[in-house]
Structure 1
Amino acid sequence: MKNLLMLDVSFNMLVGEIPNDISAKNLKFIFLTHNLLTGNVPDTILQDGRNIDLSYNDFTYLGPQQPACQENMKLNINLFRSSSTENSLRRVLPCSEAVDCPPHRCSVYLNCGGNDLTINDKDGKFVYEGDAAVAGGVSTYFKNSKSFWGFSSTGDFMDDNDLQNVRYIQHLPSSNLSELYTTARISPISLTYFSYCLENGNYTVNLLFAEIYFANDGTYRSLGKRIFDVYIQDKLVQKQFNIEDEADGAQKPLIKQFNTSVTNSTLEIQFYWAGKGTTRIPHRGVYGPLVSAIAVKSNFKHCSKDLKKGALYIIVGVVMFSITLLVLCVLWWRFYSRDKQRKEEDLRGSEVQAACYSLKQIKAATNNFDSANKIGEGGFGPVYQGLLPNGTVIAVKQLSSRSKQGSQEFLNEVGLITCLQHPNLVRLYGCCTEAEQFLLIYEYMENNSLAHTLFEGSQLMLDWPTRIKICIGIARGLAFLHEESQLRIVHRDIKATNVLLDRDLNPKISDFGLARLNEEEKTHISTRVAGTIGYMAPEYALWGYLTSKADVYSYGVVVMEVVTGKSNSSFVPMSDFCCLLEWACRLQQRENYSELVDRRLGGSFDVEEAERLVKVSLLCTNGSPSLRPPMSDVVSMLEGRLNVPDVIPEPGTFSDDSRFKAMREIFRHQQGQSSNIIGTQRLTNAASIGTQSLTNSLADIGSSSACSH
């Protein structure tokens, strides 16, 4: 191999790895396309001046920082579908990170080998994007990141040593053909056009051909014969295809129509020369596949209508402008009007128009709300996992007919959440209000809730740095709701089940805006107060007094649960303590913070950070709302930018604390008559343990209100 200039072993289904050291230093062309090669791509073959085609193999995925992906290397390298990654987009887009796909992209129009061209036909006006600026070569990979398409070409015209780049594009100077057929792209071996970020579904593919190199004049230019195969989505749809035979002559237009399906947002159309046809005659024989244009149209009704009439674009523009203007007006009324009731009515009156999903789409995404797709159940109703046609996984929250909430609460949820965007808040994609259905479409959180991970036997183990990240993330989300957003939001029901974890275990707060007070019920302790026993601040649970400090209290409970891995509403450490918070208060007196940390961590935690988290938790669960810090200060404390004040009660005072005495009485009574007191049942059912003394004690509950389960 010492003097070897070209190595071509393409289309041989070879297996194995490329050797780390290749002695053929004079190699200029390396064609390895369409094999089953695996392993890493060695740096030794990545030498300046080389043309390398590694497409259609199973190499280890090449990231943007690896040598083969560096733009400053002076080589032509084709990595299209070269990796073994299961991510379909990464296979067609090597060296790239995640791609942000636009919604409802469902058509592709390409002028192969030519410039951008506008074509009018019976279905309307279409712009065919050209690729003439891409000269091409022996190992070409091109992508148009703005329009989400590209092509891969491989092979060298071995009968020619000059004008190589020119020969990859064909042009017919003068003819009676439409301009769309006067240019074409050609490849010696394999040519693949691809489009990504397409909406999944059924498509019609029109391939436009015209044999513009050969002629019908009886001269040497009429002696050639071009034969190649056509694949769509890796399926052979035309074997030994000959343009002249199909079109009944050279320089005549030909359209071949095929139906196909897109299931992974990507469409691939490959033209492959299988070694048949003319290679040397006429002079400088131009063998290999040739294509003039490609038109891909979806068979969806909503997309087809968008393409039929240009006037529809004007209508869409006017509608979008009207919606934008309406939203601005609603926001102005919501944020700046002094009349609170009128602001709320204006918001609710316009929020219905925020719905952007049809009931048919949601039923298709959830398989008609199949029970197999049900992933949860809350006070609002059941939650289903769904899959949109563009591949986006969603969570659909369905308003239950038995739910306490109604349409007004639903509209309030939509109006609030669409105005709030933060990395630590669950994102709302849209809503649906058809056929008396009230649905919210959220982003799907891959790792379920924090409660599921901590308390429900999840196989996922949260290490200490992740727990710190979760506590800080929740605090940032609440600080945004309380202090940073234009709408000041009190969540009312912060708890571990309302903190969801994404793929990277980042926390996101859910269900803000759902809980609402029942204005009609005015009892001292209302079962309609929006909150969960074990997390509610005492002033809110007893008197319905709601401020952002109620969320701070609930957050303190969640932080203690993250540290201990125990549930405050169901964990009783021992008979001397009624709940998790009382146990924590006792250990704080002794400055014994390490004993609180989840034993499952096995000592793998930072003692100083554990002390800081416990102190923050107890500070947030202070019985007096005025002593609880704002969430912005909590973020600063957790990040070490602000000292945590020491608030430790005196031992004598603590032992006589009526808050925990009352909770111990309730706990003993529940042990004997567990069926008499459940959840938020009115505390008057506990009259047998002394109604008056219990009521007096509850007035001072403070941080131990979470013990009432």
Structure 2
Amino acid sequence: MFSSDLNPATEKKRDNLKTRAKIIGISIGLAIMIIIALFVILFMHKRRYNKSSCNQNQPRNINSAPSSNIITETGTVIYFGIPVFSYEELQEATNNFDQARELGEGGFGTVYHGKLRDRREVAVKRLYEHNYRPVESFINEIQILTRLHHTNLVSLYGCTSRHSHELLLVYEYVPNGTLDSHLHGDKAKPGLMPWHVRMKIAIETASALCYLHASDIIHRDVKTSNILLENNFCVKVADFGLSRLFPIDVTHVSTAPRGTPGYVDPDYHICYQLTSKSDVYSFGVVLVELISSLPAVDMNREREEVKLANLAVKKFRRKAFSELVDPSLGFHSDENLERMITSVAELAFQCLQRDKDLRPSMGEVLEVLQRIESSNDVPGNLEGIDVHCAETSCSYALPNTLMKPQRLHQTL
């Protein structure tokens, strides 16, 4: 008869082998985890990059945004680097989203004036429930505004959790309304916004857009209703729900055209290729609005003039540029004023080129505006602009007195 028991020496040897196997397995597992962690750290490090900005503010890398909540020592929840507000607190701040507190509506939600428990005045954006991909738009705007800091960009104070009852974003309150309301809205009054104020607004808006482009961000919805104004008319560019991170190793991003009628780049509409020059076109429309005080779209105008960009081109073609200028600006009353407005009109004309490659960059636009303001710019001859328009497209022949967009930086 055979015994199934092992002798003590053999059994001890087997136990030692099992112990060694466990130790080796744990060691290998730990080594693999350490290697994976090192690869992740190395990968994240490589994704970080720094680019020079167009002014004193240095952009921060969006790709390095934290993706999880952090709880501070005081118990405050931090989400993507900003405080998280409860839905109840913001409901209280806006008096239950009182209609009388509405500041305006955008493509992604309604904005309400509110006052927090710490007495800060804020603007609370309540995203539409039926919004296309609301969480994506919510996170997109948070990631941009928490990583970019510029004097002329609106500040984000916080948000609700993306798992909250509603998606809410909390911004600094900008008290003086929008540029749109001052030009042709409820705040529009003759003489209230003289040319030097409009010039300041143009430069500060261009500075903010230049900074965004240097940070590889395309705003994608540049318009006068997204340009907020402080009481001293300092600019705060807002609404980044449509904004896109623009990869540094590509020339364009293929995407379905989105934006506001009257401001959308026609080249983008045709080719579905989004570039930084799409913002330049929209800014060109803003410049024409600053000159004319007319809205970007007006259904009461003739069919060919519903879009302000088309009306502006028509006035250039008919050599009737002065008819486009807001009479309250006193265009012919001052030679220096006439020179400045004419120069800005020429720049707007270059921004509105249908061919995006003929448009200046935002950096060049900013430099030209600063040069015009400093009274060192010599205007070209607007009467010499030759515009040839077919039914579906326009080509522009610039006179020799106008600077070619791609060479603006060489002549400044």
In the other structure, the counterpart of 1:354 is 81
Q: Does 1:567 align with 2:280?
A: no
CA shift digits 1:1-29 (9 cap, x unpaired): xxxxxxxxxxxxxxxxxxxxxxxxxxxxx
Match of 1:491 in 2: 219
The one-letter code of the counterpart of 2:67 is: G
Partner SS, residue 177 of structure 2:
coil
Alignment correspondent of 1:639 = 370
* 1:569–1:363 distance in 2 versus 1, CA, 3 Å: same
2:387 aligns with 654
User: Which position in structure 2 is the counterpart of 1:429?
Assistant: 157
2:32 aligns with none
Q: Which moved more, 1:432-441 or 1:630-639?
A: 432-441
Q: Give the number of aligned pairs.
A: 319
| 1:393 counterpart (121, 136, 159) | 121
Q: Following the alignment from structure 1 to structure 2, what is the Cα–Cα distance between the partners of residues 630 and 478?
A: 10
Q: C-alpha displacement at 1:596, in angstroms?
A: 2.0
1:438-453 equivalent positions in 2, closer than 5 A? 438-453=167-182
Matches within 5 A, 1:522-541: 529-541=257-269
User: How much has 1:600 moved relative to structure 2?
Assistant: 3.1
- Runs of 4+ with deviation above 6 angstroms: 328-331, 343-346, 647-651
Say yes or no: does 1:479 pair with 2:210: yes
Partner amino acid for 1:492? R
* Equivalence for 1:34: none
Contact kept? 1:616, 1:644, Cα under 8 Å = no
> What is the aligned-residue identity percentage?
34
For 1:540-589, what per-residue CA distance to the aligned partner results, in whole angstroms no more than 9, with x for missing partners?
11222011000000000010011100013216765775643344334435
Counterpart CA distance in 1 for 2:395 and 2:157 is 38
**Partner in structure 1 of residue 240 of structure 2:** 512
1:335 paired residue among 43, 48, 55:
48
Q: Do the aligned partners of 2:153 and 2:237 also contact (CA within 8 Å) in 1?
A: yes
Q: Using a 3 Å threshold, how does the CA distance of structure 1 residues 411 and 586 change in structure 2: closer, same or farther?
A: closer
1:193 equivalent in structure 2: none
CA contact (8 A) 1:417 1:513 kept: no
CA 330–472 in structure 1, closer or farther in 2 if over 3 Å, else same: farther
* 1:368 positional shift: 2.3
In the other structure, the counterpart of 2:37 is none
Q: Distance in 2 between matches of 1:442 and 1:625?
A: 33
Matched residue SS, 1:639: helix
Counterpart amino acid of 1:617? A
After TM superposition, the structure 1 = structure 2 runs for residues 36-47 of structure 1, keeping only pairs within 5 Å, are none
- Measured at CA, do residues 516 and 702 of structure 1 come closer, stay the same or move farther in structure 2, by a change above 3 Å? farther
TM-score by length of 2: 0.68
1:345 deviates by 8.3
Go from structure 1 to structure 2 and tell me whether the alpha carbon gap of 1:349 and 1:571 turns closer, same or farther (over 3 Å shift).
same
Matched, 1:466 2:197: yes
1:208-607 aligned at under 5 Å gives the runs 332=45, 335-336=48-49, 347=65, 349-350=67-68, 352-356=79-83, 357-433=85-161, 435-460=164-189, 461-483=192-214, 487-515=215-243, 529-570=257-298, 577=305, 579-589=307-317, 592-603=320-331, 606-607=337-338
Instruction: Show the counterpart of 1:229.
Output: none
Alignment of 1:36-115 (within 5 A): none
TM score, norm. by length of structure 1 = 0.41
Look up the SS of the partner of 1:654 in the other structure: strand
Match of 1:617 in 2: 348
The change in CA–CA distance for 1:369 and 1:347 in structure 2 (over 3 A counts) is: same
Structure number, greater radius of gyration: 1
Structure with bigger strand share is 1
**Whole-angstrom CA distance in 2 between matches of 1:634 and 1:538:** 19
**What letter matches 1:335 in structure 2?**
R
Secondary structure at the aligned position of 1:634 is classed as helix
Instruction: Select the structure that is richer in helix.
Output: 2
Contact 2:319 / 2:382 at 8 angstroms: preserved in 1?
A: no
- On the 8 A contact 2:205/2:235 being kept in 1, the answer is yes
Name which structure has the greater RCO, CA cutoff 8 Å, separation 6+: 2
Deviation of 1:389 after TM superposition, in Å, equals 2.5
Check the 8 A contact 1:416/1:513 in 2, yes or no: no
**Contact 1:467/1:562 (<8 A) preserved:** yes
